[in-house]
Structure 1
């Protein structure tokens, strides 16, 4: 029985000890190496009686992070990844909320963190690697850990820019990991090409599928995502067969016409999540990889990455909305209207989730937690918590869920209730448009369209006139050389608002 995520590593280290597990530009860890490094870290935490405490990991994205995550898990505490490339103002906000017991970093970044935080013990990776493993101590610690204990706290900011720490347990990650393995038939022959930062929940799939199945994960150098041909060459050279990327990364490769220049022979599973995937760019990928499995995964960090999915099994026009599909196994979905009633037919409502995947809420933020983790309004008989995602969805004629927009993006404009996501879908289908995002300028009551690509402005309105009513047409169009992206690789709406 799998009780803790470290059970995955123990199994892999026993059955695939010498197999390359996690690989970055500078270092390769076998499963045996990873287990040893993790248990060295765990021993030092256990000796300091760091148990059920928060531990921050301040490192470059690398295999060293995986060792730290697993070491913290072995010790019975929980980790928070903090990338060294994050602005220090954000790091300060995160650590102020988290108040970690310990920070793990390396020699290169020790001084950086010491400049700002003098009262938190700092453990250096290189020093930890010279310590001994106390197997008896770790056995005693492990016996005290249960699957309901917290595994990690990931900080997400959404539109506000204020970090919120999402608390996820071992059992939630195990529930998700088992579902991914079963649904996508993952085994030890899978080679993952990791794109997501470790502070972004998309990385959870890559990391824990590798651990559970004795697979292999390459950490793709970040700079390659600015050079699509070199990126595809990397996938081809490493024989990567499975990727789980944000749509922005997939769209970049498609928009720069790299797909026809180099075909990655090994690539056969292409998963994506984090934002809307436009069908125009997806169709480019499907044309180049007709035999590959494509899947649209949907879910916020608060439900352990994914709560619905759609394996792409039919053709779509460029202007169509791609379904987010059906609930994952052991996850229940409810679509509620403003009266907390289940929607009927194709009416739009808020997607709400219940199940093992749910977060415990936001770290040190009970007020925000109680706003969105609420009693199921359809159940008056006993306590049953659901998560209100804030996402508006509807069912299509196939009974599949269609993402419409964020509640935050639903606007009232000249007397009409409008979903900005519907406008963005229509814009994205226009020939020549690469990326698009709509922001509502409340002060001027205008729908502002930001876009990249080579297209005549008159052609935009001419095309949109055929698909949208007049009241939904953008009032202002701003062409950008490059669409701003946030730390997770999604379109940065906060920065776009600053351009209004």
Structure 2
């Protein structure tokens, strides 16, 4: 039984060493090569003094085979990896690095200027320089003795209500436990070809990476730009013989919504899994029409419980307007609903906050004990994560997602604190005050604001402040806000405000 992810990697290398582990349009690595490069990168980190146990190593690069090797390299050095997406604005990257205080940043050479523009002054290693580093077996052996199930494996940043991103910290044991159940329940095999859609800083990719690692299945990295042209994307899936998709809902809807199947059908796909937001029944029905024999699974769970805690196998053709249940609980977990007083509810029609306990709960939020204490609580002597998500118990006794308890939303597969968006808007010159709302039915973030700045100028300015998925889809310039009895903006009155013409 592997004690850590590196044990699992080496087991797979021993079985399938000369076979392709991962590929992208520009490169590929066998399992032997992936391990060798990861060991070399780990050795480089040790040589540079960036090998402090349990310390973060930021990996700032475009998604690629080399980036994956760097992530495992951080583990070989005794630390944990934190992927940083270069598509984010410099201000947010700077905020992430400030929270993280990494031992080092491994950066792709073409992104060095972008990193420097964030103000980062710490240790920097160029990915291209360390990729072919020679392994130092003695140093890696020394580090390996301190890596166990409780050692941090990776950190992923999510939106924070204070305007500062939060880093969810996941251990080796968390991933080993989850991925063991995941690959067994859904029958992942060495013969699978996994089409990776999600960027490495998005936890959907965790399922791709470690399903591949635990079975020896090939992982095919799909560039982000392919999703802007469905025909190109489908050709790529067909050319690489992809059999399995674990994608964000929004990514699947690109193919079905833009009539990609009228071009070609990737008939080798036999498993389609989705998460991150509610899957529209109309879009799922299109997938079922063209790939009727595929397995379809609705997955639910936030990053803080290591990917997913429930799953619903869709064993029928969905009907227009049908809601999908959250489904069964993964082994080793317990999922319940709590009312406003923290009491469990289980009667038909009841609604409550989803609370999760058992295996694979995150270690907490890195460098953020206050938020860790607020969300990871002891309940009846058991550590429990309060998700902030609401669910309702249907007539069939199953749970159905029912929105958020707070001002957090799920948009384009990402969890977003509307308060963070509002803080970004409020920081702009020419803005007096702002308030955001979310139109669930149309998947639109709507920003209401007062001030002198033009809507177009505000939109452009925010693109340099927030990640693209957090920038509002619509801006409404209003003369003033209506306040409630407590002096706060009355969010129920936003659609009744007088608009600046």
Q: TM-score range by the shorter chain?
A: 0.7 to 0.9
Structure 2 unaligned spans of 5+: 412-417, 423-432, 445-462, 478-501
**Distance in 2 between the 1:444 and 1:6 partners?**
46
1:65 aligned onto 2:67: yes
**In structure 2, C-alpha distance between the alignment counterparts of 1:373 and 1:258, rounded to whole Å:** 42
Alpha-carbon shift at residue 354 of structure 1 (Å): 0.7
**Structure 1 residues 428-459: Cα deviation after superposition (integer angstroms, max 9, x where no partner):** xxxxxxxxxxx9x9999999677499xxxxxx
CA distance 1:89–1:353, change in 2 (3 Å):
same
Matches of 1:169 and 1:250, distance apart in 2: 29
How far apart in 2 are the matches of 1:206 and 1:447?
Answer: 30
TM value normalised by structure 2: 0.81
Tell me how far 1:162 sits from its aligned partner. 3.2
- Within the candidate set 304, 320, 323, 2:322 is matched to 320
Deviation at 1:174, TM superposition (A): 0.7
Normalising by structure 1, what TM-score? Answer: 0.81
Q: Which residue in 2 is equivalent to 1:366?
A: 369
For residues 233 and 298 of structure 1, what CA distance do their matches in structure 2 show? 29
User: Structure 1 residue 404 and structure 2 residue 402: aligned?
Assistant: yes
| Cα contact 2:348–2:397 (8 A) shared by 1 | no
Q: Quote the residue 1:101 is aligned against.
A: 103
Offset at 1:83? 1.9
Counterpart check, 1:217 vs 2:219: yes
Structure 2 CA distance for aligned equivalents of residues 448 and 297 of structure 1? 22
* 1:55–1:448 distance in 2 versus 1, CA, 3 Å: closer
Q: CA deviation at 1:119?
A: 3.0
Residue 356 of structure 1 pairs with residue 359 of structure 2: yes
Partner SS for 1:80: strand
Q: Tell me how far apart the structure 1 counterparts of residues 440 and 121 of structure 2 sit (CA, whole Å).
A: 47
Match of 1:293 among 295, 320, 324: 295
- Kept in 1, the 8 Å contact 2:97–2:120? The answer is no
* Residue 268 of structure 1 pairs with residue 241 of structure 2: no
Aligned partners of 1:46 and 1:141 also within 8 Å: no
Query: 1:74: how far off?
Result: 1.4
Provide the residue aligned with 1:227 in structure 2.
229
Closer, same or farther: CA 494–355 of 1 in aligned 2, 3 Å:
farther
* RMSD over equivalenced CA pairs, Å: 2.8
Query: 2:459 — aligned with what?
Result: none
Residue of 243, 246, 249 corresponding to 2:248: 246
What is the CA distance between 1:25 and its match in structure 2? 1.9
In structure 2, the CA distance between the partners of 1:391 and 1:444, relative to structure 1 (3 Å rule), is: closer
Cα distance in 1 for partners of 2:256, 2:162 equals: 31
Q: Is the 8 A contact 1:159 1:494 kept in 2?
A: no
Distance 1:114 1:262, change over 3 A: same
For 1:186, what is the secondary structure of its paired residue?
coil
> 2:472 is matched with which residue?
495
Partner of 1:457: none
**Residues 242-285 of structure 1: CA deviation (Å, up to 9, x unaligned):** 01111111112111122233111211000011111011110111
**Per-residue deviation at 1:143?**
1.4
1:392 aligns with 2:390: yes
Q: How is 1:419-498 mapped onto 2 (pairs within 5 angstroms)?
A: 451=442, 492=469, 495-496=472-473, 498=475
Query: What CA distance in whole angstroms lies between the structure 2 residues aligned with 1:37 and 1:311?
Result: 38
Which residues in structure 2 correspond to 1:320-339 (within 5 Å)?
Answer: 320-339=322-341
- Equivalent position of 2:425 in the other structure: none
Structure-2 separation of matches of 1:129 and 1:445? 44
* Cα deviation code 1:182-229 (max 9, x no counterpart): 111111101011110100000000011111111101111211111112
2:457 match: none
Corresponding residue for residue 19 of structure 1 = 19
